[in-house]
Amino acid sequence: MTSRSTPGRRPKRIYLRRVETGAADPETWPEPHVIRDFLARLDQAGRLVGHGPLTEPPGDFLLFRAREGDEARRVLRTDPWAKVAVGRYELEEWNPTSLGTGVNLDLPPARGAGRLMLLQRIAVVVADQERAIRFYRDVLGFEIRAQDEESGYVELALGKGTAALSLVAPHPSWGEPYYSEARSRIGSRTGIVFQTDSVAALQLRLEKVGALVTEREHAEPWGGRALRFTDPDGNEFLAFEPGPMATAGPVARARGAAALADAER
């Protein structure tokens, strides 16, 4: 009696599509918006793993998921590069042993699976919201991203696509214990870390407006420089200026990040 494998859907594998443009005329290459649309469809289907340019030889690579080779070839029927006369167009199953582990092989969940997409905002509790807005805007360089005067909600950010700070001013109308709990958070060590292009210049700016620098600029063991300061309500932050770890290998950068995290405990 012949044994049979347990029926069911086979797990997806990772496939590499590699295009070498060679002497192909760049005017025949796919339009950027066509490539973006193709990648967006792959991402929505939970197939996209990685994409980017090749340098030696010049070209384009794509990593995506499929259960077997035939399915991978079907996926590539709508690949914009498949319709271009190029030097070489190859498809192969991704092999970490021969091709390296330059991508994360732990596959993320497909869209709609409850994965976190981005860090949207962090709340900082303040006593005087108007005073706090002036400090974060005029001294630290934040911009108001959203504000509702009726509810008192205000959100500030350092630029588009970055996480925002929501300046929360507790009000007795919240009732207990919410009001008292929020008030107790004013003047605490927030654990928030900023990166700056000059710790020395930031310290001068803070001192010029009379802000409290709780730990003056100093060298860190991992090569950068850092300082601690508070906002007008005593909420403390850490700011650092990258040192050699910015251009060092991943181990050095990881040690620097770990040192900053440890300093915030």
What is the arithmetic mean of pLDDT over 194-219? 95
- For 96-135, the pLDDT digits (tens) are 555 554 545 455 555 666 767 778 899 999 999 999 999 9
Residue 109 confidence (pLDDT): 57
Query: What gap in Å lies between CA 211 and CA 231, rounded to an integer?
Result: 7
Query: What gap in Å lies between CA 73 and CA 230, rounded to an integer?
Result: 57
| Residue 97, both tokens | 């042993």
Cβ neighbors of 116 (< 8 A, separation 6 or more) are none
Q: How many CA atoms lie within 13 A of 6 on its CB side?
A: 4
176 contacts 182 by C-beta, under 8 angstroms = no
**Percentage above 70 pLDDT, the chain:** 77
Of residues 261 and 39, which shows the higher confidence score?
Answer: 39
Please state whether beta strands 48-54 and 59-66 pair in parallel, antiparallel, or not at all (unpaired): antiparallel
Query: What gap in Å lies between CA 18 and CA 53, rounded to an integer?
Result: 10
Name the pTM for this structure.
Answer: 0.56
| Residue 110 belongs to some domain of the structure | no
Q: Is the peptide bond prior to 242 cis by the omega test (within 30 degrees of 0)? A: no
| Residue 5 belongs to some domain of the structure | no
What's the gap between Cα 202 and its chain centre? Answer: 24
Do 91 and 143 share a domain, yes or no? no
- Report CA-CA distances (Å) from 99 to 16, 177, 183: 10, 58, 55
| Residue 108 belongs to some domain of the structure | no
Do 42 and 92 share a domain, yes or no? yes
Predicted confidence (pLDDT) at residue 74 exceeds the cutoff of 70: yes
The CATH number that applies at residue 253 is 3.10.180.10
Of 82, 90, 88, 91, give the one whose Cα is nearest residue 24: 88
| Residue 6 belongs to some domain of the structure | no
Query: What gap in Å lies between CA 230 and CA 211, rounded to an integer?
Result: 7
Residue 124 confidence (pLDDT): 96
Highest mean pLDDT pick, 57-66, 142-151, 154-163, 207-216: 207-216
Query: What gap in Å lies between CA 148 and CA 152, rounded to an integer?
Result: 6
Residue 249 confidence (pLDDT): 43
Domain span at residue 131 reads 118-186
